[in-house]
Amino acid sequence: MNNTKSIQEQTLFDQIDKTIFMEQKHSLLEAKQKIEAFCAYQERCDQEIRKKIKSWGLYGDDVDILISDLIQNNFLNEERFASAFVSGKFRIKRWGRIKIRQHLKQKNISDYSINMGLKEIDEEEYLQNLHDLLETKNRLITAKNKWDRLAKLQRYIQSKGYENELVREALDQLVN
């Protein structure tokens, strides 16, 4: 009886130790190899890498050592990440510059890298995306009147992150 109580107490203390003091899951060398593979798979930002490393139970100087090693070996490059992010969100999800910029800011990407990535968007392709999105949505929505239709189209295209001035011009062209 006394023995089972001590076993239960010990199990409880082990559970508390595991939740309070997270055990390090990987050595620094193992973490380096795993994080390099993680970065080689697709472009990553500093924030994603730090989160992944911390999920492995590594903190502080270990994280900084791994990050600096990734930068030195060109596994981590903020400008390259921003460029890939912009390209993907623009071409695949057809997001506008505003939404892309907001999402990059949430990932703590520098303004310089964001601007370099956004410069890669071709203006003609950008405007064509805007018009294509409006035409497609215009065919799909139902509205009571012209103003209701325009309001729905404007809300939709602004939620995609396109600039107000461009949206107004595109809506004027669509209506006329």
CA 102, 104, 108, 112: dihedral to nearest 10 degrees?
-100
Instruction: Give residue-wise pLDDT tens across range 54-108.
Output: 999 898 999 999 999 999 999 999 999 999 999 999 999 999 999 999 999 999 9
**pLDDT score for 132:** 97
pLDDT at 111: 98
Dump pLDDT digits (tens) for 107-154. Answer: 999 999 999 999 999 999 999 999 999 999 999 999 899 999 999 999
DSSP result, 118-150: HTTS-HHHHHHHHHHHHHHHHHH---SSHHHHH
Give me the mean pLDDT over the 170-176 stretch.
89
What integer pLDDT is reported at residue 16 of this predicted model? 43
The pLDDT value given to residue 27:
85
Task: Return the DSSP state at 151.
Answer: H
- The CATH classification number of 24-76 equals 1.10.10
Q: What is the tens place of the pLDDT at every residue in 10-43?
A: 554 454 444 444 455 678 899 999 999 999 999 9
Exposure string of 5-18, with b = 16+ CB inside 10 Å and e = fewer, is eeeeeeeeeeeeee
